[in-house]
Amino acid sequence: MGEINWITVLTNSIISLILSFTMFAFGLRAGKERTDRVKLRETYREIYSHINKLLEGISENKPLNWNHFQNSAHSDSKPPCKEMMKTGEHLELSKNLFPNIVELEKDCLIYGWHFKQLTLKSGELVIKVLEENSIPLKKEQYRILTTIENSDDKDGSYIEIKPTNLLSDQKYEQYLNRISNNDIGIHFTYVDQSKVIFSIYIRKCDIQHINMAKVFSEIRTLLEKNQDDFMSKKDEILKRLEKTLLMLGKLIKDPHSFWGTLVNTFKDFFR
């Protein structure tokens, strides 16, 4: 009967013990993460919805800004992801993704703020273009009207246009096609929190005397010249939003991957 190799026995026992302990710890970690899975999925869904609204807003030239997350005019803005950092809820989420989401949220709202400033200024730009094209205007208490024709036609049918919508290629073409028959007037306007900021009418009876394709083009060019430099980041921000939505979609399906659970198990040994 040969001698017992105690070193081999001891080594195998230690390895077996380590593996057993690792599997036990892995089971505990997997159980805990299974319990957390429902809550995490719901949180990631809420973030997904928020990021998707930011994407739609910028894509459709209706970007959200800091004011959209105020409870009142004099309160602090509380965008969701920024607030999660304050409450500590972010600690339960992806440490690789969440800091980027907070930065992305901030950039979207900064973009929205600059867009709003341009929109507020856009009425002045429309008037400037009309005056440079020698189109006579009449200022009334709440609106400005073109007065080419000697007519009292102030009402009639009008297509309502927010000037900054002319920055959208799709809407730009839609508006041009809509007025091509000179059968409708144009109402340039912007309403902010139920307050009419400006109201500029190109009357139906006057529109036949105006080269609206030229006017639209000049308004759009002037809007582009008055954009803040930050607004040039629009395409970059949209790509970041799309990429973030893809990553969030994966986390909604599987908040804890197998490999993520395994890595966290080993991290637990050193805590």
Tell me, rounded to whole angstroms, the distance of Cα 49 from its chain centroid.
Answer: 11
The per-residue pLDDT for 205 is 87
Domain ranges within the chain, ordered by starting residue:
10-71+80-114+231-269, 121-229
Q: Nearest-CA neighbor of 68 among 20, 116, 1?
A: 116
The per-residue pLDDT for 103 is 96
Query: For every one of its 271 residues, what pLDDT tens digit does the chain have, with 9 covering 90 and above?
Result: 456 565 665 676 666 666 555 555 545 554 555 556 778 888 999 999 999 999 999 999 999 999 999 876 667 889 999 999 989 888 888 888 899 999 999 999 999 999 999 999 999 999 999 999 999 999 988 899 999 888 766 556 899 999 999 999 999 999 999 888 778 899 999 998 889 999 999 998 898 899 999 999 999 999 999 999 999 999 999 999 999 999 999 888 876 544 454 454 445 544 5
- Structure confidence by residue, pLDDT tens digits, 225-240: 999 999 999 999 999 9
3-class secondary-structure state, position 190: strand
The per-residue pLDDT for 41 is 85
117-147 burial string, b = 16+ CB within 10 Å, else e?
Answer: ebbebbbebbbebbeeeebeeeeeeeebbbe
The per-residue pLDDT for 64 is 96
The per-residue pLDDT for 40 is 83
pTM of this structure: 0.79
The per-residue pLDDT for 224 is 95
Give every CB contact of residue 113 below 8 A, 6+ residues apart in sequence: 65, 66
Q: Are strands 158-161 and 195-202 parallel, antiparallel or unpaired?
A: unpaired
Structure tokens at 228: 């803040």
The per-residue pLDDT for 126 is 97
Alpha-carbon distances of 84 from 31, 80, 89, 235, rounded to whole Å = 25, 6, 5, 27
The per-residue pLDDT for 8 is 67
